[in-house]
Amino acid sequence: MSNYCRADAPGACYFFTVVTFRRWNILTDDDSCVWLRNALSNTRKRYPFTIDAWILLPDHLHCIWTLPENDNDFSVRWNGIKRQFTKSAKDSLHKPEWLNASKQKHREGTIWQRRFWEYQIRDKNDYQRHMNYIHDNPVKHGLVKAVSEWPYSTFHRYVNQGIYPTNWGGNKLIQDDDMDYGE
């Protein structure tokens, strides 16, 4: 059995990558967006956190969260989000033919990969690098030519706040070939 070492600094800021099982392109479907929004809202009521950045792509998502002071349990939050989404989507998205022995043993559905990737943000430069990576991700994956064209992103919030210009991104901004973003 694998023994994963997770970051655990209370009140810290974290970058996450969460992927669908078999990279299934479902997350930007209308129903999936509603289920995910509801799962996030319900989880945040029970276990508060701040969403600093978010990008939703068809088969994965990236986000940056800041946890409350004296709280380091992002796993319980992801567990809640994934569980609630799966319950909402079960009749529509359950794939019994994808249930292998491992998924049955761990009582998992067929929507999410088992784990997620997390990274603790170190400083302001690291934060900005990850913010840029998140917002440029649909361009990186060839889904749009301009960041502003992708609707499932906090980029639009930051444009409205004057933090990013509308025409930001899409021009090979991410040069960190040595960085691992959990893709």
Pair 21, 101: CB distance under 8 Å: no
**pLDDT tens across 69-85, in order?**
999 999 999 999 999 99
Give the distance, in angstroms, between the CA of residue 15 and the centroid of all CA atoms in the same chain.
8
Domain boundaries, the chain: 13-123
pTM recorded for the entire structure: 0.84
CATH class of the domain whose range is 13-123: alpha beta
Count of CB atoms situated within 10 Å of the CB of 47: 17
Q: What CA–CA distance (Å, rounded) separates 14 from 65?
A: 5
Under DSSP, the state recorded for 148 is: G
Under DSSP, the state recorded for 10 is: T
pLDDT average, residue stretch 151-161: 97
Whole-number pLDDT of residue 118: 94
Catalytic residues: 152
Under DSSP, the state recorded for 176 is: -
**pLDDT tens across 42-99, in order?**
999 999 999 999 999 999 999 999 999 999 999 999 999 999 999 998 877 665 665 6
pLDDT average, residue stretch 142-167: 95
